[in-house]
Amino acid sequence: MASHRRPKQPSRARVTVLTATAAAAVALTSQTAQADPKPSKTDVKAKVDKLYEEAEKATEKLNGAKEQQGKLQKQVDNLQDKVARGQDELNDLRDDLGSVASAQYRSGGMDPALQLFLSSDPDDYLDKASALDQIGTKQTEAINEIQGKQRALAQQRKEAQEKLGDLADTREVLGSKKREVQTKLGDAQKLLNSLTAQERAALKAEEAREAEKAKEAADRAADTAEKAASTNGGDDRASRDTDRADVSESKPSSGRASSAYAAAQSVLGKPYIYGTSGPNSFDCSGLTSWAFAQANISIPRTSQAQTGAGARINSQSDLQVGDLVFFYSDLHHVGFYAGNGQVLHAPRTGTVVRYESIDNMPYQFGVRVG
C-alpha cells in the first residue's frame, strides 16, 4: 500500500542558513561591482603615460637593434665580397699551378743524368735544366701561396658564418622589441578608448595648453638672448649668428648646436612615430640624430649612445640652447634644451614635436656636442 506521508519541511535553522548564504552572495556581488568602478580620467592618464614610457624604452632598444643590424649586414656583405674575391684568386693560382705541372709532364720523366749523357748539345741541356729548376721553385712558391689563400678563405668564411648568426639573433631581438612596443601602444589605446570622447578631448586640450606655455617660455628666452647678443656684440655679426639663446660665443659648439636646434625647430608639429628619424615623423632620438645630420654632424642613433656625443653637463643652470638633454635613469629619452627651463623634443606616441617643461621628466644631465 502506497505511503501518503507529507514531505519533510526544512528546519528553521536550515532556512536561516540558506537565507544568510543568499544574502552574502548578493552582498558580495554588490561589493564586487562597487570595487571595480570605471577608472577616472586622471587614473587613465597616469596608466597611459606609464605605458607610453615603457613603449619608448622598448623603442630605443628597437632602434639599437636596427642600428646593430645595419652594421652587421655591412660586415657580412664585406666578408662575402672578400670570400668571393679570394675564391677567384685561389682559382687563378690553381690554374697557374696546373699549367706548370703540365709543362713538367710534357718535358718527360727521363733521369736527368741520362738526358745529359744522350744530349747532342750538353750546354743547351744544362740551360733547360736550370729553367726547369726555376720552374720547380716557382711551383713550390705557388703551392705555399695556394695553401695560404685556402687558410685565409676558410677564416673569412668562418667569420662570415658567425656574423650571419649574429645577424639572425639581432633580427629576433628586432622582432621581439617591435612586438613589445606594439603591445604597449595597444594597451594604452585600449585605456584611452575607455574614456568618453569628451574626456579624451579634455586630455588633448590640456596637453595643447601645456605645449603652448612651453613654447611661449622658450620664445621669451630666445628674445632675451637675442637682445643680449645684439647689445654685447655691437657690429659683430658672427656673434648674432650664434645660437639665439646662447650669447657665449666662446663655446666651440654653439654654432653647430644652433644649426641642429634650428633644424629641430623646423619640424615642430611633425608626429611622433616610434622607430622613425624624419623628415616627416620622429621618435625622440630620431629627432636629435636627424637634426644634427642637417648640420653635417653625425651622432649615434639611440639616446643611450648619444650620451657620449659630447661634453657632459650635470647642472641645469649650465645648459645652453641646443644642448642635448637626457631623462630617466636608463636614459631612454632625449631632446634639445630650448632655454628658460624648456625642452624641444618628440615626446611619445600620440603627440608631435613640441616644447615642454624640463621639469615634466626626471632630468639626468646634458651633453654639448662640438
pLDDT in tens, 272-302: 999 999 999 999 999 999 999 999 999 999 9
Beta bridge partners of 326: 334, 365
pLDDT, tens only, 328-367: 999 999 999 999 999 999 999 989 999 999 999 999 999 9
Give the per-residue pLDDT at 246: 39
pLDDT, tens only, 148-203: 878 888 888 898 899 899 999 999 989 999 999 999 999 999 999 998 989 888 88
Q: How many CA atoms are closer than 13 Å to the CA of 137, on its beta-carbon side?
A: 6
Supply 347's cell numbers. 615626446
Supply 161's cell numbers. 658564418
- Of 281, 350, 295, 351, which is closest to residue 324 (Cα–Cα)? 295
Which of 52-61, 126-135, 144-153 is predicted least confidently?
Answer: 126-135
Instruction: Tell whether the model's pLDDT for residue 307 goes beyond 80.
Output: yes
All residues at 6 or more sequence positions from 278 whose CB lies less than 8 Å from its CB, including other chains: 267, 270, 286, 287, 290
Q: What is the mean pLDDT of residues 139-144?
A: 72
Active site residues: 284, 333, 345
Instruction: Tell whether the model's pLDDT for residue 318 goes beyond 80.
Output: yes
What is the spatial distance between Cα 86 and Cα 152, in angstroms, rounded to a whole number?
8
What is the spatial distance between Cα 122 and Cα 116, in angstroms, rounded to a whole number?
6
Mean pLDDT estimate for the chain? 79
Question: CATH 3.90.1720.10 occupies which residues in the chain?
Answer: 205-368
Give the per-residue pLDDT at 38: 72
CA separation, residue 231 to residues 141, 225, 250, 302 (Å): 78, 10, 16, 39
Give the per-residue pLDDT at 95: 76
41-193, which class in CATH? mainly alpha
The helix (H) or strand (E) run that includes residue 326 is strand 324-327
What is the spatial distance between Cα 42 and Cα 172, in angstroms, rounded to a whole number?
37
> Dihedral, CA atoms, 269, 273, 274, 280, nearest 10 degrees?
-70
Instruction: Tell whether the model's pLDDT for residue 3 goes beyond 60.
Output: no
CA 230 to chain centre: 41
More confidently predicted of 329 and 24: 329
Amino acid at 96: D
Q: Which long-range contacts (CB under 8 A, 24 or more apart) does 206-211 make?
A: 207/351, 210/356, 210/357, 210/360, 211/354, 211/355, 211/356
Give the per-residue pLDDT at 237: 43
DSSP assigned state of 311: E
Q: What is the mean pLDDT of residues 70-97?
A: 85
Tell me the DSSP string of 184-247.
Answer: HHHHHHHHHHTS-HHHHHHHHHHHHHHHHHHHHHHHHHHHHHHHHHHHHHTT-HHHHTS-TT--
Specify whether the CB–CB gap between 352 and 270 falls below 8 A.
yes
Supply 321's cell numbers. 640652447
Do strands 333-339 and 342-345 pair parallel, antiparallel, or not at all (unpaired)?
antiparallel
- Of 68, 59, 73, 69, which is closest to residue 287 (Cα–Cα)? 59
Give the per-residue pLDDT at 245: 38
pLDDT, tens only, 204-253: 888 888 888 888 888 887 777 677 666 655 444 444 343 433 333 334 34
Question: CATH 1.10.287 occupies which residues in the chain?
Answer: 41-193
> What pTM does this model have?
0.67
What is the spatial distance between Cα 250 and Cα 243, in angstroms, rounded to a whole number?
12
Given 2.60.40.790, 3.90.1720.10, 2.30.42.10, 3.40.50.10190, which CATH number is that of 205-368? 3.90.1720.10
More confidently predicted of 304 and 19: 304
Which of 4-18, 50-64, 65-79 is predicted least confidently?
Answer: 4-18
